[in-house]
């Protein structure tokens, strides 16, 4: 009898590396002076890159470890790389802003790194308990980050709001988990799957538990009707934090939802499909309609991200390989577009003060043609206009919907994308068709410029070389299909 089985640490090596480095970072930041922000931030980026390198090195190594609590496969490797890259980039984006707003405290990088660790664990969660732990590890730093501008009422309000609603969603998730445990007698994903396998009539308790879990997770991706926090938090949190919210946690949460619903509940697709479809339609519609009247660009991007999550969920509703491949492609492109858009929001200042109204962008095409061009590339791409990358994201999502016979969903999806196009091109209108009342300052942040350039080039030239992304997304999707 084996009392203790040594876990296969190689599978969890990226997380272990990042955890060790994160704790070192914490020690350093406590020991050092508060002015050391830049050093700590650089080390944070280094830690994230190291974890990414380790992930890349062991890319696609499959298996479970820690008694089945932790799973690694192509999907997890891909998503982890995405999350790590997103976190590193958003950390780089933050420096100038935080220094200007005097919030450049050394906690910031540490919290980002811990939260990223939580996201990686979420992506690899293979048990309801590890899922919950990872989710909390990811969420707690986020609550603090949202409120990091302690002197700002808006920021603290955002943090509190996020915390209260986040706690509620955690409660829902836990309640759902307990129901699932009660009705299947298991918390491990494989065990749940085998308990549910071949059941013709699934018990009401399992369905209720599953819906509760979905509700908890839908909160994390801000799918309607669990989106209420997003616009307020996006608007209230400091812009780099908002950028981080839009980039990394969304990726991790959508990965988690995909794994949970394709894994343990994979055989119940008929039961949950309609719920996903409803979430998806509601998100797309609200994301499109509510954004129309926004004047604050951060709020607008919040609604835009709600809409984007609706499109990503179409792929889950399809519940097959093409659908998951669509999700992976979509979320990758979404991340790049969000990075680009938030770079521009971070550059928006007048007379050295940050501004965030859409009207502040007016006349940008005349003063800073390249910046305006980059922004219009991002906006057209988010609207899904070819030949930009955003179009291909939508293309694969809709293709999976058509393959799965979800015609109504696809039609609603394309129609809302037209409505959404209205507010994206409204931003272009402001930049190109209007004259400035007050000009934006010229951006002097080389880091942001570089990131923005890279993101724009990726969005524009994706059309030339789509195959690598397609192939890795395909491999990632395959690993979730039994």
Partner 1 sequence: MIAFPVLSLITFLPLLGVLLLMTVRGDEKSVAGNARSIALVTSLAVFALSVYMYMGFDKASADFQFVEARSWFSGLNIFYKMGVDGISVFFILLSTLLTPICILASWESIQKRVREYMIAFLLLETMMVGMFAALDLVLFYVFFEGVLLPMFLIIGVWGGPRRVYAAFKFFLYTLLGSVLLLLAVLALYHQFGTTDIPTLMQASVPLEMQKWIFLAFLASFAVKVPMWPVHTWLPDAHVEAPTAGSVILAGVLLKMGGYGFLRLSLPMLPQASEYFTPLMFTLSVIAVIYTSLVALAQEDMKKLIAYSSVAHMGFVTLGIFTLTTQGMQGAMFQMLSHGVVSAALFLCVGVVYDRLHTREIGRYGGLVKNMPRYATAFMIFMLASVGLPGTSGFVGEFLVLLGAYQVNTLATALAATGVVLGAAYMLYLYKRVVFGELTRADVKAMTDISPREIAIFVPLIALVFWMGIYPSSFIDPMAPALEKIITRYNEANAISLPKEVQP
Interface ranges with partner 1 (CB under 8 A): 365-366, 369, 380, 385-387, 391, 395, 398-399, 402-403, 407, 410-411, 414-415, 417-418, 421-422, 425, 428-429, 432-433, 463, 466-467, 470-471, 474
Judged by beta carbon, residue 138 or residue 417, the one nearer partner 1 is: 417
Q: Output the smallest distance, CB 411 to partner 1, in A.
A: 7
Judged by beta carbon, residue 129 or residue 415, the one nearer partner 1 is: 415
Chain-centroid distance of CA 395 in Å reads 20
Q: Output the smallest distance, CB 351 to partner 1, in A.
A: 26
CB 69 within 8 A of CB 131: no
Chain-centroid distance of CA 104 in Å reads 24
Q: Output the smallest distance, CB 384 to partner 1, in A.
A: 8
Structure tokens at 294: 């926004």
Q: Whole-angstrom Cα distance, residue 223 to residue 286?
A: 10
Q: Whole-angstrom Cα distance, residue 347 to residue 444?
A: 9
Q: Output the smallest distance, CB 478 to partner 1, in A.
A: 11
Judged by beta carbon, residue 286 or residue 329, the one nearer partner 1 is: 329
The Cα diameter of the chain in Å comes to 78
Q: Output the smallest distance, CB 398 to partner 1, in A.
A: 6
Judged by beta carbon, residue 30 or residue 415, the one nearer partner 1 is: 415
Between helix 446-461 and helix 74-100 the angle, nearest 10°, is 140
Q: Output the smallest distance, CB 321 to partner 1, in A.
A: 11
Q: Supply φ then ψ for residue 107, to 5 degrees.
A: -65, -30
Q: Whole-angstrom Cα distance, residue 347 to residue 292?
A: 23
Contacts of 177 (CB under 8 A, 6+ apart): 128, 129, 131, 132, 187, 209, 212, 213
Q: Whole-angstrom Cα distance, residue 257 to residue 255?
A: 6
Q: Output the smallest distance, CB 331 to partner 1, in A.
A: 18
Angle at 250 between CA 67 and CA 7, to 5 degrees: 15
Q: Output the smallest distance, CB 293 to partner 1, in A.
A: 15
Judged by beta carbon, residue 269 or residue 402, the one nearer partner 1 is: 402
* Cα 190 to Cα 128, 193, 324, 401, distances in angstroms: 11, 5, 19, 27
Q: Output the smallest distance, CB 437 to partner 1, in A.
A: 17
Nearest 10 degrees: CA dihedral of 326, 376, 228, 295? -170
Chain-centroid distance of CA 301 in Å reads 13
Q: Whole-angstrom Cα distance, residue 345 to residue 235?
A: 12
Q: Output the smallest distance, CB 157 to partner 1, in A.
A: 35
Q: Output the smallest distance, CB 457 to partner 1, in A.
A: 14
Judged by beta carbon, residue 125 or residue 322, the one nearer partner 1 is: 322
Judged by beta carbon, residue 27 or residue 463, the one nearer partner 1 is: 463
Judged by beta carbon, residue 36 or residue 399, the one nearer partner 1 is: 399
Q: Which of 133, 52, 134, 135 is nearest to 91 (CA)?
A: 52
CB 339 within 8 A of CB 412: no
CB 256 within 8 A of CB 174: no
Q: Output the smallest distance, CB 385 to partner 1, in A.
A: 6
Judged by beta carbon, residue 77 or residue 472, the one nearer partner 1 is: 472
Q: Whole-angstrom Cα distance, residue 16 to residue 203?
A: 39
Judged by beta carbon, residue 175 or residue 422, the one nearer partner 1 is: 422
Give the three-state DSSP class for 362: coil
Judged by beta carbon, residue 290 or residue 420, the one nearer partner 1 is: 420
Chain-centroid distance of CA 328 in Å reads 11
Judged by beta carbon, residue 206 or residue 410, the one nearer partner 1 is: 410
Residue 430 β-bridge partners: none
């Amino acid at each position: 009898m084996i009392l203790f089985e040594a876990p296969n640490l190689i599978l969890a090596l990226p997380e272990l590396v990042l955890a060790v480095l994160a704790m070192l970072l914490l020690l350093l930041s406590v020991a050092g002076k508060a002015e050391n922000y830049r050093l700590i931030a650089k080390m944070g980026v280094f830690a994230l890159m190291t974890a990414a390198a380790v992930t890349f090195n062991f890319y696609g190594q499959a298996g479970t470890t820690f008694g089945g609590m932790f799973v690694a496969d192509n999907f997890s490797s891909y998503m982890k790389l995405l999350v790590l890259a997103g976190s590193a980039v958003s950390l780089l984006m933050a420096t100038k802003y935080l220094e200007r707003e005097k919030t450049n405290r050394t906690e910031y990088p540490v919290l980002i790194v811990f939260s990223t660790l939580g996201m990686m664990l979420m992506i690899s969660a293979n048990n309801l308990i590890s899922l919950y732990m990872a989710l909390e590890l990811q969420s707690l730093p986020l609550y603090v980050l949202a409120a990091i501008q302690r002197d700002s009422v808006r920021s603290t309000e955002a943090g509190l709001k996020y915390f209260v609603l986040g706690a509620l969603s955690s409660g829902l998730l836990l309640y759902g988990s307990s129901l699932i445990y009660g009705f299947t007698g298991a918390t491990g994903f494989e065990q749940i799957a085998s308990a549910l396998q071949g059941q013709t009539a699934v018990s009401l308790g399992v369905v209720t538990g599953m819906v509760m879990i979905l509700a908890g997770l839908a909160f994390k991706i801000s799918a309607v009707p669990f989106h209420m926090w997003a616009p307020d938090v996006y608007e209230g949190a400091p812009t780099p934090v908002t950028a981080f919210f839009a980039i990394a946690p969304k990726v991790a949460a959508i990965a988690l939802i995909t794994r949970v619903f394709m894994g343990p509940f994979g055989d119940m697709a008929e039961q949950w499909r309609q719920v996903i479809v409803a979430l998806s339609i509601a998100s797309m519609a609200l994301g499109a309609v509510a954004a129309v009247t926004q004047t604050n660009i951060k709020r607008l991007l919040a609604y835009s991200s709600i809409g984007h999550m609706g499109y990503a969920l179409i792929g889950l509703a399809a519940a097959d390989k093409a659908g998951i491949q669509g999700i992976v492609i979509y979320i990758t492109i979404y991340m790049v577009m969000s990075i680009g858009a938030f770079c521009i929001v971070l550059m928006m200042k007048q007379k050295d003060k940050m501004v965030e109204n859409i009207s502040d962008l007016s006349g940008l095409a005349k003063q800073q043609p390249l910046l305006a061009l980059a922004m219009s590339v991002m906006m057209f791409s988010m609207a899904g206009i070819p030949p930009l990358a955003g179009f291909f994201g939508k293309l694969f999502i809709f293709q999976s919907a058509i393959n799965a016979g979800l015609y109504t969903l696809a039609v609603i999806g394309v129609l809302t994308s037209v409505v959404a196009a209205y507010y994206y091109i409204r931003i272009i209108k402001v930049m190109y068709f209007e004259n400035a009342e007050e000009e934006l300052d010229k951006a002097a942040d080389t880091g942001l410029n570089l990131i923005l350039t890279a993101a724009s080039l990726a969005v524009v030239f994706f059309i030339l070389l789509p195959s690598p992304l397609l192939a890795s997304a395909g491999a990632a999707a395959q690993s979730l299909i039994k």
